[in-house]
Structure 1
Amino acid sequence: MASKELFTLDPGTRALLHDLGISAARVLRRAQLPAGLFAHGAVTMTPEEYYRFWEALDAEAADRDLAVRIGRALSAEAFNPPIFAALCSADLRTAAERIATFKPLIGPVNLDITSDRTGLTVTVHWPQGPPPPALLVTAELAFWVALARIGTRREVNPTRVAMRRAPKPSAETTSYFGTQIREGQADAVTFSAEDASLPFLTEDESMWDFFAPELRRRLSEVEAFTTTADRVRAALHERLPAGESSINTMAAQLMLSPRTLQRQLQAEGTSYQAVLSDTREKLARRYLADRSLPTPQVAYLLAYDDTNSFYRAFRRWTGLTPEAARNGTDLTTT
């Protein structure tokens, strides 16, 4: 799970690049990112890494109207869960409010939603530091147009589109938005009050009721994961059942070198081995509380090479064997 300072690169990005006729491998290579980046589902990135990806995408495509192509290529199937859930909303205004709430699941971007009789304005606030690539900003604004059109099945055009670093005018981009992108004090898109209230034909409140609890749970987790140690724990929860526990594997998952990962953990007063051991102990207690799981299976889920290694580790943590702990100890104690 990503922290508040991380972007999530959705695995659907790979399909989107394919639809755009752009080589994902070439983009990753140009961005100096791991070739197998899309192999393990969603990947978290620092803003610098995420921006580098978008800059590489822009350079690889060499198309000044790429953001428009991205907007036109978007579909309900390509959206990640928070966005798909927003399509269940009654209208664009409601969808914008929901997306603003759950935007941290996608990245450290804050959305200000202003809605009144004059219209609906979505303003995007990026993380502090280097400015985001122009392609990323334009694609973000194009996304809102795509969302409005997919939801209403109508050719909705915003009344105003502004960027702090507006690109040179393009007939294709102006045609897509229905208005020219202008210089502004913030990156924002405005829709008329009438268009913001158009009913979404994709509305499905029962589906929203299904999505919302899980989204809220994930949001609380995101807000809790603020340190490198927390990021490592989250990665271990995902990778240990696959038999992977090495620092090299976890560093690759977090888009860091093993040396950088260890240095960041040391700055937090811990080490990779300490986080690994603590995570395994907590998971061991949880697994052993489920008496349907035999001890060898617990050892497997914790990525131990053999059951004896797990026995030695558990005795080191608790002074007990797993069986003794199951028979006489509160395994929820940490």
Structure 2
Amino acid sequence: MASDRFTVDPGARALLYDLGISGARVLRRAQLPAGILGHGQVTMTTEEYYRFWDALNAEAGNPDLAVRIGRALSVEVFNPPIFAALCSADLRTAAERIAAFKPLIGPLKLRVTFDRTGLTIGVGWPQGPTPPPLLVATELAFWVALARIGTRHEVRPIRVTMRRVPEPSAETSSYFGTPIREGETDAVAFSAEDASLPFLTEDESMWNFFAPELRRRLSELEASATTADRVRAALHKLLPAGECSINAIASQLVLSPRTLQRQLQAEDTSYQAVLSDTRERLARRYLADRTLPTSQVAYLLAYDDTNSFYRAFRRWTGLTPEAVRNGGHLTTASSAN
């Protein structure tokens, strides 16, 4: 349900200035219109946005630029959804709120999971070109910066993974407190204790001021989404709570089950197909996190028991979850099962 365009907030100008990088040179190198950063909020296609980040990386010529950006981040360069998240009680709540409103910023999806092992925030990028490594590293560094700004503690993640790992850097490892390791997902994880540290920026009255407008903008965005997109978004929210019935999803979308099925049929799909596809894709992501036991993955996908999850996973992939974690080859995710 995300827009297919990235939003570049006016605060980007201040950030580039603080970094000592010429915005005009970056735009020229990226073959983007000169001066667009000086005209309020700007939107870019995925291709343009990736070119912007590639140009920024080339212009800076600094392998530790993501860390420099993380250290330069301040409240004045945050856009409204992120500024509103700083009003949260802690990092876990902030992550959940940002995940909900991330579509207002760009076509990214955040997977936020929290259990006794801690808080994990994974980034799902739009289909198409691979995102620039600088952009990925900066997205992960952002969460460290947010935690530190909110808590006024030197919060350090317990794990940072990227699908394309940059060259090892002492400064980057020092900033994160751990080396960036190769993984199947771009993700950052914090201990349960750090994820629950109180934000000194907490301001519920300010959140109540921001939230209605953010929800209104999100509703407008959702109105342009397909029914299947809306069902997937609802499943991401309700599956960890054990809800997977069409009645529960229809209620979440303020539709009757019959109307929901009819709208999905008009899109040449069905509720069961969307449910199965969503579960499969989430299962693949969850299994990439080896700290999550298989029983927990089954729970997060709203299966009644682990055996039911095993049977479904074998039907999707021909493999068991353990075989995948031990190096088994996964087939391409199915579009319906």
Q: TM-score range by the shorter chain?
A: 0.5 to 0.7
Instruction: Look up the match of 1:213.
Output: 212
TM-score scaled by length of structure 1: 0.66
Instruction: In structure 1, give the amino acid aligned to 2:160.
Output: V
CA deviations over 1:246-270 (Å, ceiling 9, x no partner): xxxxxxxxxxxxxxxxxxxxxxxxx
Would you say the 8 A contact 1:3–1:225 is kept in 2? Answer: no
Instruction: Look up the match of 2:130.
Output: 131
Instruction: Look up the match of 2:60.
Output: 61
Equivalent residue runs for 1:277-316 within 5 Å: none
CA deviations over 1:186-240 (Å, ceiling 9, x no partner): 000000000000000000001000000000111122334579xxxxxxxxxxxxx
May I ask how many residue pairs the two structures share in their alignment?
226
Q: Is 1:169 aligned with 2:168?
A: yes
1-structure distance, mates of 2:225, 2:25: 32
Would you say the 8 A contact 1:123–1:188 is kept in 2? Answer: yes
Equivalent residue runs for 1:152-231 within 5 Å: 152-225=151-224
2-structure distance, mates of 1:222, 1:181: 34
TM-score scaled by length of structure 2: 0.66
Instruction: Look up the match of 1:103.
Output: 102
Instruction: In structure 2, give the amino acid aligned to 1:73.
Output: A
1-structure distance, mates of 2:39, 2:219: 23
1-structure distance, mates of 2:207, 2:48: 32
Instruction: Look up the match of 1:76.
Output: 75
CA shift, 1:44, in A, is: 1.0
Give SS of 1:162's match. Answer: strand
2-structure distance, mates of 1:139, 1:179: 15
2-structure distance, mates of 1:225, 1:81: 22
Equivalent residue runs for 1:267-278 within 5 Å: none
Relative distance call for 1:40 and 1:224 in structure 2 (3 A) is farther
2-structure distance, mates of 1:181, 1:87: 26
Give SS of 1:50's match. Answer: helix
Would you say the 8 A contact 1:5–1:226 is kept in 2? Answer: no
Give SS of 1:111's match. Answer: strand
2-structure distance, mates of 1:5, 1:78: 22
CA deviations over 1:127-159 (Å, ceiling 9, x no partner): 000110000000000000000000000000000
CA shift, 1:4, in A, is: 1.3
Instruction: Look up the match of 1:252.
Output: none
Give SS of 1:122's match. Answer: strand
2-structure distance, mates of 1:85, 1:137: 23
Would you say the 8 A contact 2:2–2:108 is kept in 1? Answer: no
2-structure distance, mates of 1:9, 1:225: 21
Would you say the 8 A contact 1:67–1:139 is kept in 2? Answer: yes
Give SS of 1:8's match. Answer: strand
2-structure distance, mates of 1:225, 1:19: 37
After superposition, the CA RMSD in angstroms is: 1.4
Relative distance call for 1:76 and 1:37 in structure 2 (3 A) is same
Instruction: Look up the match of 1:113.
Output: 112
Would you say the 8 A contact 1:19–1:73 is kept in 2? Answer: yes
Would you say the 8 A contact 1:87–1:200 is kept in 2? Answer: yes
Would you say the 8 A contact 2:13–2:38 is kept in 1? Answer: no
1-structure distance, mates of 2:133, 2:224: 29
2-structure distance, mates of 1:32, 1:24: 12
Give SS of 1:158's match. Answer: coil
Instruction: In structure 2, give the amino acid aligned to 1:153.
Output: R
Unmatched tracts of structure 2, length 5 or more: 227-337
Instruction: In structure 2, give the amino acid aligned to 1:199.
Output: P
Give SS of 1:88's match. Answer: coil
Give SS of 2:87's match. Answer: coil
Unmatched tracts of structure 1, length 5 or more: 228-334
